[in-house]
Structure 1
Amino acid sequence: MNIGLAQWHFFAVLSTGGLILLALMWFAWHRVIGRREAERRIAAARVRSGHVPLEIPTVRGRLDDLGETPPDTLPEWFIQGKGEHAIVDEQPRIRIRYLDPHGKKAECTIQVDHLDVQKKIITGHSELPGDIHRLPLHAITGARIADSGQRFNIDLWVDAVRVARRRRGQA
């Protein structure tokens, strides 16, 4: 195996090019991850400040129910009392995927009865009589709104419920 200088040069250029390509891919990948993480943190901060994003289950309700007075910058139909705002639904009907206590994947549709923010547990019932589910939030792997099938983030929903309860003085 007699390798000449030209072949060594070719292998050196090829390996250097490969290393540069790997470095560029690593840089781009970490930038994308950083951007996604920043977007996630911004969305969580918005929810904690009271913003209700579209992917969180909501109900329509009047501002009077919350004990707030509507600002005078609202459109006329809001001022006349016909308007409603999106309020976080604390008892949505959701389809969840979770890991049961044995570590097996399971799926069910439940009507949430109670969200314990301190213990981080969702309690709900399904359509079968006596079928009550009590699930820790860390066991839930995915959730969708049962009626529309729209995916939503459980963690953001829990933060939104926490903010809504704090605003009502229930925290």
Structure 2
Amino acid sequence: MDIGLAQWQFLVALLTGALLLFVIMWIAWHRVAERRETERRIAAARVRSGHIPLEIPTVRGGLSVSGDSPPDTLPEWFIQGKGEHAIVDELPRIHVRYLDPRGQKAECTMQVDHLDVQKRILHGHGELPGDLRRIPLHQITGARIAESGQRFNIDTWVDAVRVARRRRGQL
């Protein structure tokens, strides 16, 4: 089987085109990945600076410990409202998907009793009496707000709780 010069040139051109297409796709994929990573880092920095994203559980309440004085970091038009602002809900009722100690997938709806930020463990109780749960945060694969079913990022919520506790002087 003899390959002619025209067939050989066609094969080389085809391989060159495929390689060029691969390089262009690789560059585009890396640019998109860089942009997503940059957006993720900016969002994480905003949370660490005190911004509360819409996708994490919140409650309405005062931001200060005493409840009388509004914080001086908010603009005057915002402070003149009813004195209640959206703050991070540290004890939400959530639906969690996680890996149990045996590595099996499990899920439950639980009321959070305590978030241990240092040990990165979520303490809570389920709907049945005596159903206590201690779930390490690294084993959680997904979380939703139980009432609305809205997804939220557990790591972003933990960072927002850490910032809220730091502002109150509890951390």
TM above 0.5, one fold?
Answer: yes
Q: Any unmatched runs of 5+ in structure 2?
A: none
- Give SS of 1:96's match: strand
- Give SS of 2:76's match: coil
Counterpart in the other structure of 1:24: 24
Aligned pairs for 1:28-43 within 5 A: 28-43=28-43
Counterpart in the other structure of 2:161: 161
* Partners of 2:57 and 2:145 within 8 A in 1: yes
* Partners of 1:66 and 1:168 within 8 A in 2: no
Counterpart in the other structure of 1:4: 4
Distance (whole Å) between structure 1 residues aligned to residue 106 and residue 71 of structure 2: 44
Shift of 1:69: 2.7
With 19-28 and 63-72 compared, the bigger mean Cα shift is at: 63-72
Distance (whole Å) between structure 2 residues aligned to residue 5 and residue 149 of structure 1: 64
Shift of 1:82: 1.7
- Does residue 69 (structure 1) correspond to residue 70 (structure 2)? The answer is yes
Counterpart in the other structure of 2:60: 60
* Partners of 1:93 and 1:146 within 8 A in 2: yes
Aligned pairs for 1:69-88 within 5 A: 69-71=70-72, 73-75=75-77, 78-79=79-80, 82-88=82-88
Counterpart in the other structure of 1:123: 123
- Give SS of 1:69's match: coil
Q: TM-score when scaled to structure 2?
A: 0.93
Shift of 1:31: 1.0
* Partners of 2:63 and 2:70 within 8 A in 1: yes
Shift of 1:75: 2.8
* Partners of 1:88 and 1:160 within 8 A in 2: yes
Distance (whole Å) between structure 2 residues aligned to residue 93 and residue 66 of structure 1: 26
| Cα RMSD for the two superposed structures | 1.7
* Partners of 1:96 and 1:142 within 8 A in 2: yes
- Does residue 110 (structure 1) correspond to residue 110 (structure 2)? The answer is yes
Question: Aligned residue pairs: how many?
Answer: 169
Q: TM-score when scaled to structure 1?
A: 0.93
* Partners of 1:99 and 1:141 within 8 A in 2: yes
- Give SS of 1:138's match: helix
